[in-house]
Amino acid sequence: MLKNLPVVAAAIGLGARVALADAPAGEKKAELCVLCHRVDNSHGAPILDGLPVTYLLKQFEFYKSGKRFGPAMQTNLSPLSNQDLQDIADYFSSRPATRAVAKMTADRQAQELGLTIANDLACAHCHGQNYRGTKDVPRLAGQPRVYLAWEISRLQRDSSLHPAMSSSGRPVPQPDIEAMATYFGSLEP
């Protein structure tokens, strides 16, 4: 995807000599990843399809350096070259966003509570309309509920990862996190 090239080049510091990211090559290189990162996954792994290239590359670096803990990613990403990482990011990013599961048990009350809390905290300010993400900010809509709850807690614990989360200075209580996760997970990606 040529349009992503300057961003990718800047993200990994290759400057003008960057090789083209190659999504079809990435598909092959991502064979192990999709064992877990697929729509019908049973691992509760987040859906990578349609996430921004810059976001994916940044998470790859976090896993490789140990800043983000994830043994499956550490093992599978460590042997890969920068070209491989670019190809894999490009492959996932070029795919249409899908939801984690076809059907989710509707908990209307939790969804409405989550909507209210997310509005109060202005999460959509950056995460795009209906939480579908932007070209730089990851989408939250349709990700697995369990992953979202876990991830919001993680980001909140280390404010350097997500300064916006605790802009009010007060931690978001766990029941509010659960409600937001239910709400985001229920949205169409």
What residues make contact with ligand HEC under the rule CB under 6 A?
Answer: 32-33, 35-37, 43, 45-46, 48, 55-56, 58-59, 70, 72-73, 76-77, 88, 121-123, 125-127, 137-138, 140, 147-148, 151-152, 155, 162, 164-165, 180
Q: Which is nearer to ligand HEC, 14 or 34 (CB)?
A: 34
Residue 77 CB, nearest approach to ligand HEC (Å): 5
Q: Which residue has the tokens 């992953």?
A: 147
Q: Which is nearer to ligand HEC, 151 or 178 (CB)?
A: 151
Which residues, including other chains, have CB under 8 Å from residue 133's CB and lie 6 or more apart? 50, 51, 52, 97, 127, 139, 140, 141
Q: Which is nearer to ligand HEC, 23 or 48 (CB)?
A: 48
Q: Which is nearer to ligand HEC, 46 or 189 (CB)?
A: 46
CA-wise closest residue to 182 among 153, 154, 140: 140
State how far the Cα of 10 lies from the Cα of 181, in Å rounded to an integer: 32
Residue 22 CB, nearest approach to ligand HEC (Å): 15
Residue 121 CB, nearest approach to ligand HEC (Å): 4
Residue 30 CB, nearest approach to ligand HEC (Å): 6
Q: What is the 3-state secondary structure (H, E, C) of 41-95?
A: CCCCCCCCCCCCHHHHHHHHHHHHHCCCCCHHHHHHHCCCCHHHHHHHHHHHHHC
